[in-house]
């Protein structure tokens, strides 16, 4: 099976979807002729023409708002916001419109759109190229929120998202675009060609939305992670020697609660990890759910390892980013509690 | 040159406040028939002055004059009059129903009936409107059942939106009426997207975007104009300038731009201004813009100059911010009276027939109201099931909502 980067897998997902369904339309800033600032749409305009893949004005509200209108017409737009940090001008359209359209019209109009956006830090992106705004979307009823962690899932999840009848926020950890990253910024990065999850099947396949996957089976503690943090968790488990069960959530909304609860009931301990800031982050929801559903099985308080409650800094990148050392300490504390 | 000393902050004010004498002497009203009618393929650069004039057909004597006249038959005009009278009667009954506690909220169209009623007749089947909350004439003029509108207003057991939406936030794909949102201006860019989709699909259908004067200040208005201009989307961009955004006079949103139509010029979009209380003028301009869109000539911006005679909503008291008799002084008059006079002048209508029609329409509205109220009103009788509250958030109900529905015990 061919190995691909996450960029290639994402491009492949759009290519496959556009070939299968002429209603799939791809656009955004620099997405057309140039093929995207991260190359995720390279070649799509040449292959499908300017009416299927095109450049948009720099207006996130315009991009998402027009996509909602296209979806109401009957197309399936898969649009790009260049960085998740720049989604806020479109927030009204996403929250008030895309998420509510089916509900408020009782199904008279629906909104099968995908809003792709590169997310996360670890790249010296500073304040506006590093944010992880997923909690701003998981709080919105009517949305689905997806964060892939590897090329295989990225392709399968994106095809699922495009085919899904509801609006999907598709957050792509840009730190993982070219290879997995465990937080060891001082070591050389391995490319996806060296990783088995870089194996991406040709053609059409899907990874279902709403289903988590266990990346590392373990008995001592459950780690709930997604995106880049999956590899940070793997490194932390290896370095501490703790037999952690690492769950890659993949879809945050709707959440695969069954997989989480089964794991925590088995291990009796749980650590939640995300790059996003701590307070009211998605980890708070995860922690509350674990507490509600696994209270009598818990041997220790649910721990949260997250970005600090500050804007994402530039020079202090590695003091901010929740790396394997910080997560490792949380694992040890949770085991000792 | 003024003394460059201290800066002074400028906040526009309306000419008159409560207690003052209404004054519209600053509103320049061109003579009916005086604005030319260019071909739909006109070079936008050559008609820039149209964004500062007002296209009018009906003159003071009720005659239809000038190049924009003559598009509608007697029967079509009589039908238009009936639509406007129906909307007005419907409004009055629903406003009263709100006062009687049968619903929580209502918004009237008083004085603006011509805009949506006449516009609807310029569209073809399959075209899609993206209305605000003040274009119910689009539904009335398209024959949408009044009982269904009332069911929605009452949030009763027959409400097509299952009680999920605030009254008057109708939705009907079948009648080319996009689901209304409470968030202002959002639908303006969506209309452009719908139009882009129609062009992408090599369809022949067009979209109509709607916005009020106040909401043009929202950023989605700008996004819509950029996208419409860039992609030459087949859309009619309507701005209903009724002079007021709740308590805020239109000068706050308009600033120094002269007119709202003039906003379109910077985007290279042909922009017209029309007498919004002149049924014939509204229809003629709408038809011109719709034909332009359908002929792949791109978007048109149309400003309808009208006046919001009623309160902003059933929760508003305009006497707190504008003179009580201001609507009487409005120089473009009343759209129903003006069309009525025109039809009398044409010899196809009379005061007697008008009074009779008014009574008939009221009877029809009351009959519809009785029928709707048999399905319940907001606080009495049949209502949507609490189970409906959990449906339709997603195409398929996810596990967490199933759990919550169970917890709610419904």
Residue of B nearest to A102 (CA): B392
Residue A152 bears catalytic tag: no
| A34 and A123 belong to one structural domain | yes
- Residue range A38-65: mean pLDDT, rounded: 98
Residue from A29, A66, A167 to probe the interface with B (highest B Cβ count within 10 Å): A66
Q: What is the CATH number of the domain that holds A155?
A: 3.40.50.970
Same domain, A156 and A280: no
A248 and A299 together in one domain: yes
Quick check: B189 and A62 CB within 8 A? yes
Please report the pLDDT score of residue B174 as a whole number. Answer: 98
**Residue A183 and residue A70 share a domain:** yes
Query: CB burial class (10 A; 0-12, 13-18, 19+) of residue A268?
Result: middle
User: What is the spatial distance between Cα B308 and Cα B332, in angstroms, rounded to a whole number?
Assistant: 12
Q: Is residue B163 part of a domain?
A: yes
- Judged by CB atoms closer than 8 Å, whether chains meet at B160 and A106 is answered as yes
Chain A: give the shortest CA distance to residue B234, in Å: 13
- Total tally of structural domains belonging to chain B: 1
Under a CB-based contact definition with an 8 Å cutoff, are residues B227 and B233 in contact? yes
Sheet with A144-146, side-by-side order of all strands:
A53-55, A24-28, A76-80, A114-119, A168-173, A144-146, A251-253
Please report the sign of the dihedral spanned by the C-alpha atoms of residue B391, residue B396, residue B398, residue B403: positive
Q: How far apart are CA A183 and CA A319, in angstroms?
A: 11
Picking from A52, A66, A77, the nearest residue to B189 by CB comes out as: A66
CB contact under 8 A, B194 and A100: no
What pLDDT does residue A128 have? 96
Quick one: A249 and A314 in the same domain? yes
Tens of pLDDT, residues A15-29: 999 999 999 999 999
Question: How confident is the prediction for chain A on average, in pLDDT?
Answer: 98
Residue A205 lies in a domain: no
Tell me what pLDDT residue B307 has.
Answer: 97
Range of the domain at A138: 6-198
The C-alpha atoms of residue A299 and residue A270 are separated, in whole angstroms, by 9
| Segment 99-128 of chain B within 8 Å of chain A by CB | 128
Whether residues A92 and B172 touch (CB distance < 8 A) is answered with no
- A166 and A244 belong to one structural domain: no
Question: Looking at the structure, do residues A111 and A139 belong to the same domain, yes or no?
Answer: yes
Q: How far is CA B140 from CA B120, B340, B369, in A?
A: 9, 18, 15
Return the closest-CA partner of residue B116 out of B93, B144, B153, B155: B144
Give DSSP secondary structure letters for B390-402: TTTSSSS--HHHH
Q: What is the mean pLDDT of residues B377-384?
A: 96
| Measured torsion, CA atoms of residues A274, A280, A282, A286, in degrees rounded to the nearest 10 | 100
Residue of B nearest to A67 (CA): B193
- Segments forming the whole domain that contains residue B156: 48-378
Q: How confident is the model at residue B2 (pLDDT cuts 50, 70, 90)?
A: low
Locate the DSSP E strands across A56-154: 76-80, 114-119, 144-146
Q: Identify the residue among B131, B190, B296, B396 best suited for mutation to test binding to A, counting A beta carbons within 10 A and taking the highest.
A: B190
Contact predicate A312/A299, CB 8 Å: no
In a domain, B358, yes or no: yes
Mean pLDDT for the stretch of residues A262-276: 98
What are the tens digits of pLDDT across the range B238-267? 999 999 999 999 999 998 888 999 999 999
Q: What is the pLDDT of residues B195-215, one digit of tens each?
A: 999 999 999 999 999 999 999
Q: Do residues A101 and A163 share a domain?
A: yes
Q: Are A230 and A184 contained in the same domain?
A: no
**Residue among A68, A75, A142 minimizing CB distance to B393:** A142
Which of B130, B158, B287 lies closest to B224, judged by CA? B130
- Report if residue A95 sits inside a domain: yes
Residues A173, A221 within the same domain: no
The domain that holds B322 is classified in CATH as 3.40.50.970
> What's the pLDDT at B255?
87
B275 inside domain: yes
pLDDT band at B4 (very low <50, low <70, confident <90, very high): confident
Taking CB atoms and an 8 Å cutoff, what residues of chain B touch A164? 395
Q: pLDDT at position B1, please?
A: 56
Confidence band for B26, pLDDT divided at 50, 70 and 90: confident
- Give me the pLDDT at residue A1, please: 87
Q: How far apart are alpha carbons A263 and A247 in whole angstroms?
A: 9
Contact A69 B207 (CB under 8 A): yes
User: Which three-class secondary structure state does DSSP give residue B147?
Assistant: helix
Same domain, A35 and A109: yes
Q: Which two three-digit tokens encode residue B109?
A: 């169209």
Would the ipTM clear 0.95, i.e. be above it?
yes
Contacting residues of A for B230, CB less than 8 Å apart: 57
Output the pLDDT for position A314: 97
Does A68 contact B at CB distance below 8 Å?
yes
**pLDDT for res A317:** 97
Chain A touched by B380 (CB under 8 Å): no
Where would I find the H helices in B231-266? 250-254, 262-265
Q: Supply the pLDDT for residue B259.
A: 97
* pLDDT at A167 exceeding the cut of 80: yes
**CA–CA dist B68, B278 (Å, integer):** 11
3-state secondary structure of A165: coil
Please state the rounded mean pLDDT for residues B345-351.
Answer: 98
Kindly provide the b/e burial profile for residues A174-191, where b requires at least 16 CB atoms within 10 angstroms of the residue's own CB: bbbbbbbbbbbeeeeeee
Neighbour count for residue B370 (Cβ, 10 Å): 11
pLDDT digits (tens, 9 = 90+) for B226-235: 999 999 999 9
Quickly list H helices, B295-334: 326-329
Residues A39 and A175 in one domain: yes
- Residue A303 is part of a domain; what is its CATH number? 3.40.50.920
**Residue A208 belongs to some domain of the structure:** no
Rounded mean pLDDT, A87-99: 98
Region B112-125 average pLDDT: 98
Instruction: State yes or no: pLDDT of B341 exceeds 70.
Output: yes
Number of neighbours of residue A61 by Cβ within 10 angstroms = 24
Contact (CB, 8 A) for B107 and B317? no
CA gap A39, A49 in Å, rounded? 17
pLDDT tens profile B32-70: 999 999 999 999 999 999 999 999 999 999 999 999 999
Number of compact structural domains in chain A:
2
Residue B218 inside a domain? The answer is: yes
Does position B3 have pLDDT exceeding 80, yes or no? Answer: no
Contact with chain A for residue B404, Cβ under 8 A? no
Distance CA A286, CA A294 (A): 12
């Amino acid at each position: 099976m061919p190995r691909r980067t996450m960029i290639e897998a994402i491009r492949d997902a759009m290519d496959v979807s556009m070939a299968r369904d002429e209603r799939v339309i791809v656009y955004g800033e620099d997405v057309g002729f140039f093929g995207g600032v991260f190359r995720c749409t390279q070649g799509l305009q040449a292959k499908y023409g300017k009416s299927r893949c095109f450049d948009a004005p720099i207006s996130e509200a315009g991009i998402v708002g027009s996509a909602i209108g296209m979806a109401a017409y009957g197309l399936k737009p898969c649009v790009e916001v260049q960085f998740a940090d720049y989604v806020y001008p479109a927030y009204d359209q996403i929250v008030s419109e895309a998420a509510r359209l089916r509900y408020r019209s009782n199904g008279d109009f629906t909104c099968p759109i995908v809003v792709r956006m590169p997310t996360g830090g670890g790249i010296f992106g500073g304040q506006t190229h590093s944010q992880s705004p997923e909690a701003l979307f998981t709080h919105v009823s009517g949305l689905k929120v997806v964060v892939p962690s590897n090329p295989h899932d990225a392709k399968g999840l994106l095809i699922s998202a495009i085919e899904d009848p509801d609006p999907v926020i598709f957050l792509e950890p840009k730190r993982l675009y070219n290879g997995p990253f465990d937080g060891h910024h001082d070591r050389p990065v391995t490319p996806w060609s060296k990783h088995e999850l870089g194996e991406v099947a040709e053609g059409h396949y899907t990874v279902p939305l709403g289903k988590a996957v266990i990346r590392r089976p373990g008995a001592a503690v459950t780690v709930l992670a997604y995106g880049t943090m999956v590899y940070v968790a793997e490194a932390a488990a290896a370095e501490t020697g703790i037999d952690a069960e690492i769950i890659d959530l993949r879809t945050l909304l709707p959440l695969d609660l069954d997989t989480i609860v089964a794991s925590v009931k088995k291990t009796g301990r749980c650590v939640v990890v995300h790059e996003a800031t701590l307070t009211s982050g998605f980890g708070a929801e995860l922690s509350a759910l674990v507490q509600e559903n696994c209270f009598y099985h818990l041997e220790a308080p649910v721990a949260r390892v997250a970005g600090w409650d500050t804007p994402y800094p530039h020079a202090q990148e590695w003091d901010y980013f929740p790396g394997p050392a910080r997560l490792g300490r949380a694992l040890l504390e949770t085991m000792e509690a | 040159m003024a003394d460059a000393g201290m800066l002074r902050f400028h906040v526009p004010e309306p000419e008159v406040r409560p207690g003052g004498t209404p004054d519209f002497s600053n509103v320049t009203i061109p003579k009916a028939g005086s604005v030319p009618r260019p071909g739909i393929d006109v070079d936008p650069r050559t008609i820039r002055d149209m964004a500062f004039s007002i296209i009018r057909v009906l003159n003071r004597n009720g005659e239809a004059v000038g190049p924009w006249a003559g598009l509608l038959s007697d029967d079509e005009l009589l039908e238009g009059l009936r639509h406007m009278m129906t909307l007005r009667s419907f409004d009055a009954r629903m406003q009263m129903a709100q006062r009687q506690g049968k619903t929580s909220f209502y918004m009237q169209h008083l004085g603006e009936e011509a805009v949506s009623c006449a516009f609807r007749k310029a569209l073809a089947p399959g075209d899609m409107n993206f209305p605000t909350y003040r274009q119910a004439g689009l539904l009335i003029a398209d024959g949408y059942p009044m009982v269904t509108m009332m069911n929605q207003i009452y949030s009763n057991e027959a409400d097509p939106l299952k009680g999920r939406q605030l009254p008057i936030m109708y939705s009907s794909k079948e009648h080319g009426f996009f689901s209304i949102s409470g968030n202002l201006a959002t639908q303006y860019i969506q209309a452009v997207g719908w139009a882009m989709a129609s062009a992408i699909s090599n369809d022949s259908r067009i979209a109509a975007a709607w916005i009020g004067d106040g909401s043009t200040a929202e950023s989605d208005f700008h996004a819509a104009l950029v996208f419409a201009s860039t992609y030459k989307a087949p859309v009619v961009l309507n701005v209903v300038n009724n002079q007021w955004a709740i308590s805020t006079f239109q000068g706050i949103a308009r600033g120094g731009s002269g007119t709202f139509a003039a906003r379109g010029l910077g985007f290279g979009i042909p922009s017209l201004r029309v007498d919004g209380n002149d049924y014939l003028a509204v229809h003629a301009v709408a038809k011109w813009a719709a034909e332009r869109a359908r002929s792949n000539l791109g978007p048109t911006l149309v400003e309808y100059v009208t006046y919001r005679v009623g309160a902003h909503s059933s929760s508003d008291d305009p006497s707190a911010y504008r003179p009580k008799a201001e609507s009487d002084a409005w120089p473009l008059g009343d759209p129903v009276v003006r069309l009525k006079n025109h039809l009398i002048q044409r010899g196809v209508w009379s005061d007697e027939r008008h009074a009779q029609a008014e009574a008939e329409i009221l009877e029809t509205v009351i009959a519809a109201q009785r029928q709707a109220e048999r399905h319940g009103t907001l606080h009495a009788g049949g209502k949507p099931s609490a189970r409906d509250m959990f449906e339709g958030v997603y195409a398929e109900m996810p596990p967490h909502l199933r759990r919550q529905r169970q917890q709610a015990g419904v």
